[in-house]
Copies of this chain bind each other. A is one copy, B any other.
Amino acid sequence: MEESHFPTLNDIRFAAVRIKTFTHHTPILTCSAINEMAGCEIFFKCENFQKVGAFKARGAANAVMKLTDEQKSKGVATHSSGNHAAALARAATVAGIPSYIVMPSNAPEIKKKAVKGYGGEIIECEPNLQARETTLEAVVKRTGATFIPPYDFMDVIEGQATCALEFHEEQDDLEIIMAPVGGGGLLGGTALLTHYWDPEIEVIGAEPTGADDAYRSFKAGRLIPQTKPNTIADGLLTSLGVLNFEIIQKYVSDILLATDSQIIDAMRLIYERMKIIIEPSCAVPLAALLAKKERFKGKRVGIILSGGNVDLGKLPF
């Protein structure tokens, strides 16, 4: 199989340097109460403390900083109502270039506010995928902006991989590393970097049962798109990307599932015991681990807490 289109370890190291001044080196936290409950030793990489409150700051910064001056002068564009929108708007503003964010008209006011706060220009469209794509096309045509996809894009995957690089550099004895999987940018980047770092370390994805396309695709060996996702983990509703699936098939050893009630329990555990705020998507790896403790018994497990953007007025407990 031809893999020359994958970023190399050196590429990822360069990306880490490229985005260093625009992102946080996030802390790793542990919690003895959770370790005791889980029967293993867990290290949490806190991307909820990342700029814009999510790991997405890494991929967006990397993609923007890699543009040519010519491209930069015309700005960047994307369609997203989530963390990628905020991350891209911020990265563009930091780089001093415009960003055009296509958002469904029914996107929560708080998400629109965040994008505007980071300096992005919002273009509203009908709330369906078709409208998002045609509106984005029109914006790109009008402005000449470069489209930066949220996950199915190598420069974004390369940026997300810097998280696992930091993780292994600081905690170099992990036996397993886990990340949630939605589009697969974080899990793909984590798997690729971890393969370079030490192929003996197991990479495990975690997904909600209510949006389990990565699980099904992984088991079937072919990409099966997500239809009608239904889960509290609102950052993981999307279908797995093509490039992401390619990496995941090669370098991920397993994908585990968690139900919404397990996700809520794990989320609450992290809030109460660790005193940190995470979004529901973030709790999926711990939920999947706790649902399958025997698989992790006595191991040193790294979990990437992907983000902390949650409506505090609507916590599920």
Contact = CB atoms under 8 A, between A and B. Distances in A.
A20 to B, nearest CB: 15
A275 B312 contact: no
Contacts of A53: 275
A312 B276 contact: no
21 contacts: A27-B27, A29-B49, A48-B275, A49-B274, A49-B275, A53-B275, A268-B312, A271-B277, A271-B312, A272-B312, A275-B276, A275-B277, A275-B278, A275-B308, A276-B276, A276-B277, A277-B277, A312-B315, A312-B317, A313-B317, A315-B315
Contacts of A278: 275
Interface string A272-286: 101111100000000
Contacts of A49: 29, 274-275
Contacts of A275: 48-49, 53, 276-278, 308
Interface in A262-317: 268, 271-272, 274-278, 308, 312-313, 315, 317
Contacts of A272: 312
Nearest to A47: B275
A308 B312 CA distance: 16
A222 to B, nearest CB: 38
Contacts of A48: 275
Interface in A75-101: none
A271 B272 CA distance: 14
Interface string A191-230: 0000000000000000000000000000000000000000
A290 to B, nearest CB: 19
A283 to B, nearest CB: 14
A303 B250 CA distance: 48
